[in-house]
């Protein structure tokens, strides 16, 4: 009959102390008296104890392997840590040895070689040659300052002017690249406005008949840009380039108006247009090296003679009835000198409607100009100076900045002839 396992374990549920009371001292366990603690339990492993108390599980060997592996890992980590510590200590020791050996030994007497113990000049040397050299050095510095400072005052304005000239030169170059035809990598300003000189040209455009809806391809007269600063200020040109001219081939070019050009690009294009302006007559000082215009200047005499000759030719040919009417409809420079390009619908593409009937500009017919300007001299001054944004003119007018100034293109007599014609429409 098999014997239960608990039967051969008499002291399994008892303490070690109870086991010792049965058969004296338990093998492997003893009570010893020590000096500091009264009793201490000493335990010695025995193969017999292990034989009687081993686990009955079938996983005993696996557990022993795991326990051994954990012990080995712990021992290995400890060994690695000790090795790193020893290497660190050894490294610092070697560093100290080499650093100590590389230290330069003092050569000779410190009283002779140390910089702070070196004997300096005596009084005779200090108050003699040494002092004279310092005084000569100070005199040389004073002479340099005396000569250089006035030279700086004289040359600096010229240097700044040359720097501004350099800036303008670079801006003009950048603007010319944008102004150039599409074939040259530009935005084709030259393609519509008569080449790189901006003498006026034509642009392909399509117009729609509002009554029939018929679309018709036309050739639109693009005005000359070599007189644009005669007629508009830089701010007005910037506005036109940013937002374009509605109902015309001139589209918006600035990003603020939906175009591709930044403010800097618009500015460089304007700088280029400054460089192609016809030099004005009567200028005491031009606006800049690349802008040969001024506030008090006027169109050169040869250009003015060309205008009068063309107007007289049109009158002689019977195209127009008066010089004033011919000047109003003058198509020189792509219509840059014309009033009709803005005040007569269809004039720009060769299909004019009622003369002065209104387009981009207001209608001038039916006595509207006389009602706006009862005094003829006020109308003359308005045409000479143009309109300014927000500024009132005439009886009930407020400027938009779109009306150009013709005072630098036409003479006072020519403007008077135009006013007389317009007031009779």
Using the 3D structure, point to which of 139, 159, 179 is the last residue of a domain.
Answer: 159
Sole residue written with tokens 């100034």 = 405
pLDDT, average across residues 179-193: 95
- The β-bridge partners of 31 are 41
Is residue 314 assigned to a domain?
yes
pLDDT tens per residue, range 323-360: 999 999 999 999 999 999 999 999 999 999 999 999 99
| Same-domain pairing of 309 and 391 | yes
In this predicted structure, the answer to whether residue 41 has a pLDDT above a threshold of 70 is no
**Backbone dihedral region of 390: left (phi > 0), alpha (psi from -120 to 50 degrees) or beta?**
left
Is residue 240 assigned to a domain?
no
Of 67-71, 148-152, 365-369, 373-377, the range with the lowest mean pLDDT is: 67-71
* Contact status, residue 29 vs residue 43, Cβ threshold 8 Å: yes
pLDDT at 60 (0 to 100): 59
Q: How confident is the model at residue 113 (pLDDT cuts 50, 70, 90)?
A: low
CA distance 421 to 327: 10
Is residue 73 assigned to a domain?
no
Domain count, the chain: 3
Cα distances (Å, whole numbers) of residue 387 to 184, 301, 376, 379, 381? 37, 26, 16, 11, 10
Range(s) of the domain holding residue 142: 123-159
Q: How confident is the model at residue 217 (pLDDT cuts 50, 70, 90)?
A: very high
pLDDT, average across residues 274-279: 94
| Same-domain pairing of 412 and 329 | yes
Cα distances (Å, whole numbers) of residue 125 to 132, 216, 344? 10, 102, 98
pLDDT at 61 (0 to 100): 62
Using the 3D structure, point to which of 159, 178, 207 is the last residue of a domain.
Answer: 159
Tokens encoding 22:
């049965």
Is residue 356 assigned to a domain?
yes
Mean pLDDT of the chain: 84
| Same-domain pairing of 310 and 390 | yes
Is residue 382 assigned to a domain?
yes
Torsion angle (degrees, nearest 10) of CA 225, 227, 232, 234: 70
| Same-domain pairing of 45 and 152 | no
């Amino acid at each position: 009959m098999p014997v239960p396992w608990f039967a051969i374990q008499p002291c399994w549920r008892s303490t070690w102390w109870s086991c010792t009371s049965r058969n004296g001292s338990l093998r492997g366990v003893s009570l010893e008296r020590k000096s500091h603690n009264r009793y201490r339990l000493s335990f010695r492993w025995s193969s017999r104890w292990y034989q009687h108390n081993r686990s009955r599980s079938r996983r005993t060997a696996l557990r022993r392997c795991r326990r051994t592996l954990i012990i080995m890992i712990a021992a290995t980590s400890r060994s690695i840590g000790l090795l790193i510590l020893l290497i660190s200590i050894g490294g610092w020791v070697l560093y100290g040895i080499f650093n100590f050996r590389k230290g330069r030994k003092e050569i000779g007497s410190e009283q002779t070689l140390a910089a702070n113990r070196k004997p300096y000049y005596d009084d005779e040397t200090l108050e003699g040659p040494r002092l004279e050299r310092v005084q000569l050095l100070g005199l040389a510095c004073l002479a340099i300052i005396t000569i250089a400072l006035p030279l700086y005052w004289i040359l600096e304005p010229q240097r700044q002017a040359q720097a501004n000239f350099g800036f303008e030169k670079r801006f003009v170059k950048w603007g010319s690249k944008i102004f150039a035809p599409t074939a040259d990598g530009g935005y084709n300003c030259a393609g519509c406005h008569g080449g790189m000189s901006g003498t006026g040209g034509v642009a392909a455009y399509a117009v729609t008949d509002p009554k029939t809806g018929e679309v018709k391809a036309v050739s639109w007269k693009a005005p000359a840009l070599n007189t644009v600063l005669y007629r508009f200020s830089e701010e007005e040109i910037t506005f036109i380039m940013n937002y374009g001219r509605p109902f015309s081939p001139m589209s918006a070019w600035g990003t603020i108006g939906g175009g591709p050009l930044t403010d800097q690009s618009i500015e460089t294009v304007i700088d280029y247009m400054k460089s192609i302006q016809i030099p004005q007559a009567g200028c005491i000082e031009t606006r800049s090296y690349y802008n040969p215009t001024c506030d008090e200047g006027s169109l050169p005499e040869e250009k003015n003679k060309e205008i009068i000759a063309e107007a007289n030719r049109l009158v002689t040919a019977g195209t127009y009835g008066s010089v004033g009417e011919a000047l109003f409809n003058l198509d020189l420079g792509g219509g840059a000198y014309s009033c009709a390009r803005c005040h007569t619908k269809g004039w720009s593409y060769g299909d004019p409607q009622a003369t002065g009937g209104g387009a981009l500009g207001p209608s001038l017919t039916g006595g509207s100009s006389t009602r706006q300007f009862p005094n003829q001299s006020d109308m003359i001054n308005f045409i000479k100076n143009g309109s300014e944004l927000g500024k009132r003119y005439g009886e009930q007018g407020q400027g938009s900045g779109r009306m150009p100034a013709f005072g630098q293109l036409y003479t006072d007599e020519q403007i008077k002839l135009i006013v007389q014609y317009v007031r009779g429409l």
